[in-house]
Amino acid sequence: MAEIPTSDYPTIDPTSFDLIISATGLSASLLAASASIAGKSVLHLDPNPFYGSHFSSLPLPYFLSYISSPSPSPNLYSDVEASSESLPEPSRSFLVDLVGPRLLYCSDETVDLLLRSGASHHVEFKSVDSSLVYWDGKLCSVPDSRQAIFKDKSLGLTEKSQMMKFFKLVQSHISLTRSGATTESGEEGGVMIPEEDLEMPFVEFLKKQRLPPKIRALVLYAIAMADYEQDNGDSCKMVVSTREGIETISLYTSSIGRFANAVGAFIYPMYGHGELPQAFCRCAAVKGALYVLRMPVIDILTDKESNKYIGVRLASGQEIFSSKLVLDPSYQIPASLSPRETVVSSNLSSYVAKGVCITDRSLEPNSANILLVFPPKSLHQEQSTAVRALQISGNVAVCPSGFFIVHLSTPCEDAALGKEYINSAMKALFNSRELPAESVEAQTKEEGESVEAPTQEEGETKPTLLWSCAFVQELREASYDGAVSICPMPDANLDFRNILSTTRKLFQNMYPGEEFIPQNSAPDNIDDDADEGSPE
């Protein structure tokens, strides 16, 4: 990015704030909104000419440039490999999510925050039409309700009966838990899952319910959203307990039917996920936060005697002071000021491999927006993580009519292996007119025979892959030291629950006793105020 002459930078007035935030990603924007609602003076900066940082939705040419450039995001994106230098036209009409694939549950707390802060006035959503799972080389629907199980043609009578019985047990447990019951048996024959079963690995509980492999895979990876192969307990990076699995199923089922215009559990924002941080930025602006784009922080100021943080020096040369600072994860902080407390610590993968595909038709007839999950081992025997794919269409204003964007992701420790999984999924889904150069070779079973790449049923026509890109994103944890905080990168999850939890912890560490975006925090005249005080 070309340097802007110092004389072209605006002068910021006042020069002292309670909080300076450099980055406008979702976490940073939530912090800005919450701090502003709490009455703090906030200066919100971004070195980019757009809102959203690593959570933005960018026109295709800018997306490719952003993940390929060493600045302003050094070392966060790597191994970028596009199938062609020639982009589909009109290339600027394709908006690509840096966080993809990503969705919101209708009952997610992120949706509640949008509603109670007033940010929902600035973003609209579309429903996801269907959820699919890749099983035995075929795309199968995810039966996530009794009605869906009854209608599902891919399940036999025995499988339907087993799945009905399982969901009846889960729904009974959820209902009794919500009512405050503490015993294993409730009124009218209701049953709660015993405590010892809640603590066991979810996969073992499913086996205890005598669910066959296909049903276990549907529940584990397409409903409970497990990332890692659960059947290998000793080597699994993150074992999902029954309690955790039931909690996600509860969120999933409570999301179905919450909104009249949403056919399933998930919704997607019009114009892409970059609209979410911008909506919260608007809320912060209404409450008095000051916004300046194209304004990098080039240095951190410290007190000469105590060596403690006191402010920042901007690219304009101006010095701005504050008691607290929040930085983008790409910012290189001096060792003397490095945050000492990690807000979220894990021993999981350090990277997420991603893919972006542009195609000429839907993966499923009569469905525009589709969530698809590849369970572990569904692509080849060595596949140890689930691969998620999200197809979105022109009806959410991210691409021209007649085109589709498909986002893919999988957590990984090894970039090459992660990209191999992504390319395997591309090969399984699309006619490979243009696949990345590192195509996936046929895998070998333990017995030694060759395994062909999975294909759809004979007679079905796959969508044509018009353009694709595979890359790897580093995962950096949020951290805090009392004055300087680091907000999180997008994680490898489908939803924003972990990012929201991390952001809340950051805010509570920064401002103990203050409520994180309290109820009824939206202004009464939000429509008028938003027009006058919102960011550009």
User: What is the mean pLDDT for each group of 10 consecutive residues in the chain (536 residues)?
Assistant: 58 97 97 97 96 96 91 78 91 96 96 92 94 93 83 85 91 88 58 94 95 93 95 82 96 92 93 97 96 94 92 96 94 66 55 96 94 96 95 96 97 94 96 53 36 44 94 90 90 94 95 91 56 37
3-state secondary structure 190-233: CECCCHHHHHCEHHHHHHHCCCCHHHHHHHHHHHCCCCECCCCC
Ordered by start, the domain boundaries in the chain are 6-56+270-347+477-533, 64-97+127-141+350-474, 145-255
Tokens of 140: 């199968």
Give the single-character DSSP code of 185.
B
Give the single-character DSSP code of 336.
G
Residue 12 confidence (pLDDT): 96
Residue 237 confidence (pLDDT): 83
H-type alpha helices, 85-190:
109-117, 146-151, 157-178
- Sheet strands (E) in 55-100: 57-59, 77-82, 95-97
Q: Which of 283, 290, 280, 297 is nearest to 41 (CA)?
A: 290
Give the neighbor-by-neighbor strand order of the sheet with 266-269: 104-105, 266-269, 125-127
Residue 82 confidence (pLDDT): 94
Cα gap 355→470, rounded to integer Å: 4
Cα gap 186→176, rounded to integer Å: 7
Residue 456 confidence (pLDDT): 45
Determine the topology of domain 145-255 in CATH. Answer: Guanine Nucleotide Dissociation Inhibitor; domain 1 (1.10.405)
Hey, what CATH class is 64-97+127-141+350-474 in?
A: alpha beta
The angle at the Cα of 122, spanning 39 to 44, to the nearest 5 degrees, equals 40
Hey, what CATH class is 6-56+270-347+477-533 in?
A: alpha beta
Q: Which of 351, 331, 316, 324 is nearest to 23 (CA)?
A: 331
Burial of 106 (0-12, 13-18, 19+ CB in 10 A): buried
